[in-house]
A and B are shown apart, each in its own frame.
Chain A
């Protein structure tokens, strides 16, 4: 027994089964990421002034990753085209590049971007204590310019024990440039290149801190949303890499010998998934890294 229209199209719909299936699946993924993006919007719009940060993500690295993913979208469609034109070695070449791009994307994210966050620290200052830390926040200057207040001091935490040990009553923070020099117009908005951590250390009393943590998901609504969306997106990238690898290795690629059109269809279908993953990133990048 074989299922009809697995490879060739059904005449009235003009589609083969897997293509219908993948588009339905992608429709559900639109709703999934739609739900997540909606959450992003409502959490961001509902955030109190100063609580939704800017400039914490590495823009050059994010830009590079975006270009990598776009490149892999190009190579995957070239891989499919090669199969349709029965150029098997060309297919393997482009598919290998696609897989490598995906691996590079994940590697950069998991070995550089995320760990860099986990080693960075931020402390939200209580509303009543904001005046005390004016030299690091510069709120008078910001108010005069009509810009949103700052409520957080960020940087490298010199005394990491302070996180666990309640007997330590302050955080010693080697501040980011924006807190070291808050009234410098350069600090008004994020820059393209990340500015290095300054030499100035702020001693922030725990009693003045509303909430503090390393830049883990728990740190703020911003990071919760960032890690969730990029994490879920990363899982999708990983899934795509696994399936592509299956179809690159003999176990999957050997379908070419029996039925090359069938393999072409499968690559088309997984390629559609991959393009969708790229599409999501096209929105994630500006929403988190730039805006």
Chain B
């Protein structure tokens, strides 16, 4: 038994605690379920809340797809109900209940994007899985700042509530895209004051940004300071590496958007002109502002965050997939060191590619060349990581558990999403494809059958650790097949629509332009697939709640995994581990030649000492 320092330090300057297992005093309802400072509870809070928002965002999209397939037709059943609730006749166009107005379509688009990105994916993939798994994987008792962790969650749900409340704004929710470009975002619904949808959007974003910043500080500090003895950086599970890089990205990329949001808030509420130039007009009248501002300034500050943000959306997913793939192929991660280097490279490069979203703003050759070079460069580490994951399958004894099904589907889908980004990196081809459905298909392939599948894989994988029970396998497979097929029917045709020239954000489904005629019919196909996709989430939702009470009970390590979270009880108690843990080897010691069992847990004192790359990679 190692005599290295345990996680209970005996330094006289340490706060006087009573040891890991003494706090058996029962926490009341509020301290346990609402104001918890335990990383596992906070992770679950983030996870459940985030999944609810994902579903809500899905519903918004379903409404949009209805309109695109059947423009001007009332939405069945829900339409007339919504007609009564939504302000400004948003769902009561021309007095016909259930028919969507163009403004409301725009609102749905803006809110779908905002909710999916900031209230869905980031809270689930980064905050939920990160909070629950990372301290366990590094052998820590909790995060370094538990109270700040709690504050981060509460800031998140308050921001979410503000976003939801904006649906009840007298002028309707934000309708200037999730990108909120001025002058439109500055001038939409003028004179509405603090309760306009766009202003509430800004306020909501301030809370969400605060939540992310607090969380990012916690993650980085925890990973640096609380790794168990023997857990060197190169012995960390790949999931912890992606969380570390993702936290850094959030930490450094969000603040310029916060600055820009404050400026837009001032433009809307105090009549400033940060983003309004001299001579700005609205409906042919000069707007009564001083001018002197720049709309492009917003775009630069926005995309400075929003590009790294898309890496925030995918990296945790890649981490989850790495865990699931290694576990279910019973092999180490191929090229661990290369993958780690690649993640760090992505983290760095992601900050200097942003203006590839702005190729159509009149940038000259020098700046465009710079950004297209860095953008093409960043595809290299992305391909490295995907290659490592694919090569990890080679020679593996693959168990197609439900997590592995989702992980296997993730790989080619992420491949499609990533490769279709290549023409977008060059400003010449992007000139044609920008703002078409090609873009929508590209990024949705990465987040939808990409990150969301990674999230599903993570849920099926770690649910047993969080609850002590397995999710039902049969319904998991139903969920999988019912998701992967519709996902592709929804998004693949969008590549074709985009290449035909169909513009995005078009309320009429492209009918205004003759060039769209050959591809309009896909709108109907896509709608049918959307209903199918929605239908097949129902077994998942039922499974999720049903299995808490009735799922098959399991012990510590149902998947026979090597990483340290599986050494804790299922679910882990306060303080996580029954005995202090230390790390003796790399994270993926599967199928070690000569070893009787096909895996050696990282924290098992018996067995060879290695680093992550010990098997010749």
Contact = CB atoms under 8 A, between A and B. Distances in A.
Direct contact of A and B (CB under 8 A): yes
Nearest to B220: A24
A67 B585 CA distance: 56
Contact of B226 (A1, A3, A25): A3
Nearest to A8: B11
Interface in A38-94: 38-39, 42-43, 46-48, 51
Given A4-B8, A47-B292, A21 B145 contact: yes
A39 B259 contact: yes
B251 A24 contact: yes
A221 to B, nearest CB: 4
B272 A25 contact: no
A232 interface: yes
B222 to A, nearest CB: 8
Given A28-B251, A43-B274, A35 B256 contact: yes
B217 interface: yes
Tell me what chain A mostly uses at the interface: helix, strand, loop, or mixed: helix
Interface string A86-116: 0000000000000000000000000000000
B337 interface: no
A8 B9 contact: yes
Nearest to B250: A28
B278 interface: yes
Contacts of A15: 225
A43 B144 CA distance: 41
A3 B146 contact: yes
B13 interface: yes
B13 A2 contact: no
Interface stretch (A133-141, A173-181, A236-244, A256-264): A256-264
Contacts of B418: none
Interface stretch (A189-197, A211-219, A245-253): A211-219
Nearest to A261: B13
Contacts of A213: 290
A34 interface: yes
Contact of B213 (A1, A25, A36, A219): A25
B interface, size bucket: 35 or more
B514 interface: no
B442 to A, nearest CB: 28
Contact of B17 (A1, A211, A225): A1
A36 B148 CA distance: 26
A20 interface: yes
Contacts of A147: none
Interface string A261-286: 11000000000000000000000000
A132 interface: no
A109 B14 CA distance: 41
A154 B300 CA distance: 34
Interface string A201-212: 000000000010
Of B8, B224, B252, B253, which is in contact with the most chain A CB atoms at under 10 Å from its CB? B224
B221 interface: yes
B270 A28 contact: no
A5 to B, nearest CB: 5
A interface, size bucket: 35 or more
Interface string A1-22: 1111111101101010100110
Of B14, B259, B278, B290, which is in contact with the most chain A CB atoms at under 10 Å from its CB? B290
A10 to B, nearest CB: 5
A228 B266 contact: yes
Contact of B23 (A1, A25, A232): A1
A1 B304 CA distance: 40
A10 B225 contact: yes
Contacts of A288: none
Contacts of B9: 4-5, 8
A221 B290 contact: yes
A1 B242 CA distance: 27
B173 interface: no
A220 B289 CA distance: 8
A124 interface: yes
B278 A48 contact: yes
A218 B270 contact: yes
A27 interface: yes
Contact of A31 (B8, B14, B252, B292): B252
B141 A224 contact: no
30 contacts: A1-B23, A3-B142, A3-B146, A5-B144, A6-B144, A8-B11, A11-B5, A13-B225, A17-B221, A17-B225, A20-B224, A24-B216, A24-B217, A28-B251, A28-B252, A29-B255, A31-B253, A32-B255, A35-B255, A35-B257, A35-B301, A39-B259, A39-B260, A43-B297, A216-B270, A218-B290, A221-B292, A228-B262, A259-B13, A262-B15
Interface of B: 5, 7-9, 11, 13-17, 19-20, 23, 141-146, 148, 213, 216-218, 220-221, 224-226, 251-260, 262-263, 266, 270-274, 278, 288-294, 297, 301, 304, 574-575
In order of increasing CB-CB distance, the 3 nearest A-B pairs are: A2-B17, A35-B256, A35-B259
